[in-house]
Amino acid sequence: MREFLLVLFAVSAIAAPQPHTIKSHRVNEDADYVYYSDTKSDHTETTRKVRKPKPVEYPASVTLVATNDLPVQVQFAYREIYPNGRIHTNYLYRTKTPRERIKITLPPMPEITTEPPRGKADALRLAKARLRHPDKDKPHNKKTMYRPDRIVSSTVKDKKITHTYESGKKNKETLKHAYTVRVKSVDITIPVKPVKPIKPTKLNK
């Protein structure tokens, strides 16, 4: 029964409206806080403290140290030096005009490293190497990339012909003779027989 009454009291306390402040006045102050005494609607008084804001610290000098050209804005970096020796970098931005946005300069692309793969386990570098040299591992491409060794000169001596190639290589071949026999020519024209004229016939009356 006692536990039931405690639970009922807690529920009723939560459901009841919380007392609000009717009057407040400052009662004390130190370096960090200001203390107030609040009079509540249920005639109780509570002490409340409010933290003082930190004093505004002004820089002793401000210098523009960098200007960064961004796609849509221009960034200005300022170095601020405070009396206690603290250095702070502050950034300000200015939106580009439509004419300035036409000439957008993007930063350069990073250089592609050509470091060789570190063993067979380095799958990433092996894949990059195949992309750079896609025909390296294909043996049939050696035939497609073959350049013919052309003949630059030919000489005939002792019934043999010698070919000299661009690479300096020489090749000798025996000349092949072709024999021909004269044949009596035949008249291929077809004689045309003369056609006899047809006599006109008399019609019977």
Instruction: Identify whether the C-beta of residue 175 lies closer than 8 Å to the C-beta of residue 161.
Output: yes
pLDDT over threshold 60, residue 160: yes
The reply to whether 191 falls in a domain is: no
* CA proximity to 86, closest of 56, 59, 65, 54: 59
The reply to whether 43 falls in a domain is: yes
The pLDDT tens digits for 80-138 are 999 999 999 999 999 999 888 887 666 677 777 666 656 655 666 667 667 766 555 55
The reply to whether 134 falls in a domain is: no
Which position has the higher pLDDT, 143 or 79?
79
pTM above 0.75, yes or no: no
Give the pLDDT score at 64: 94
Shared-domain flag, residues 73 and 94: yes
Shared-domain flag, residues 98 and 69: yes
The reply to whether 37 falls in a domain is: yes
The pLDDT tens digits for 40-58 are 999 899 999 999 998 889 9
Shared-domain flag, residues 93 and 71: yes
Tokens at 34, concatenated: 């200001």
Cα(63)–Cα(77) distance, integer angstroms:
8
Tokens at 183, concatenated: 């044949």
- The order of strands in the sheet holding 61-69 is 61-69, 73-81, 87-95
Instruction: Identify whether the C-beta of residue 160 lies closer than 8 Å to the C-beta of residue 172.
Output: yes
pLDDT over threshold 70, residue 201: no
pLDDT over threshold 80, residue 190: no
The reply to whether 128 falls in a domain is: no
> Range of 89's domain?
61-102
Cα(22)–Cα(41) distance, integer angstroms:
6
The reply to whether 133 falls in a domain is: no
Domain count of the chain?
3
SS3 labels along the chain? CHHHHHHHHHHHHHHCCCCCEEEEEEEEECCCEEEEEEEECCCCEEEEEEECCCCCCCCCEEEEEEEEECCCEEEEEEEEECCCCCEEEEEEEEECCHHHHHCCCCCCCCCCCCCCCCCCCCHHHHHHHHHHCCCCCCCCHHHHCCCCCCEEEEEEECCEEEEEECCCCEEEEECCCCCCCCCCCCCCCCCCCCCCCCCCCCCCC
The reply to whether 1 falls in a domain is: no
The reply to whether 144 falls in a domain is: yes
